[in-house]
Amino acid sequence: MDKFGLIGHPIAHSSSPALFTAAYGGKYPYELIETPDFEEAWARFLADYKAINVTAPFKGDAFARVDWKSPECERAGATNLVVKTPEGTKGYNSDYRGVKALLEPLGCRTAAVIGFGGAGKAALAAAEDLGLDTRLYRHAEVAGGVSADIIIYTLPRAVEGIDRLDCAHLLEANYKDPCLAGRPGYIPGSAWLLAQAVTGYALMTGEEPDASAMAAVFGF
């Protein structure tokens, strides 16, 4: 039977196993491949799994390692989904796909992306490719304040200046320990996780997931 999993560290808190189980009614195993060593995680993937999701801090390592990169993966400069094929490993970026799906209906004209790790790179590429006037802020640049129609916050913790964010919509990547929940226009990290999973799981399995069952995991 095909197996699937997630590499990254730390990942014990991840909701990905619950989402994957809901997506396919539990018919495929999905495991956490937790180690701080990318080489060990990658070797375990190649030995035992058909496809993996990739989270921090390994998105850049996986991008460098895959044999083939999708266009959105190249745009983002990071991969969070890798599939083994007879032609080699193929890298995708479902963060890009998920963020794009979340932004499209909002009608925004300007965007600010805070943070430039794997998630930030994907969000920046998605906003730019939707035609939004987009600016990147690294964590040290937030202190002066940030203003845009939508702010996409991808840092793992609060930094100086997050009390000076001015926006109509606020999308946060972190869904376990959010810094910004409760603010007007807030879009939680669970919505991001769900959107990237819905758009990404079919790439892993070749089968469309049950999006309604996945949404129910978060009470949507």
Residue 54 CA, distance from chain mean position: 9
Length reported for the chain: 220
Q: How many CB atoms lie within 10 A of CB 27?
A: 11
Closest CA to 19 of 35, 4, 9: 4
Q: Among this protein's residues, is 59 annotated catalytic?
A: yes
Q: C-alpha distances in angstroms, 16 versus 34, 123, 168, 178, 190? A: 13, 20, 29, 17, 11
Which are the contacts of 182, defined by CB distance < 8 A and separation ≥ 6? Answer: none
| Distance (Å, whole) CA 155 – CA 118 | 10
Q: Are 148 and 112 in contact (CB under 8 A)?
A: yes
Q: One of 50, 59, 69, 121 is an active-site residue; which one?
A: 59
Write out the catalytic residue numbers: 59
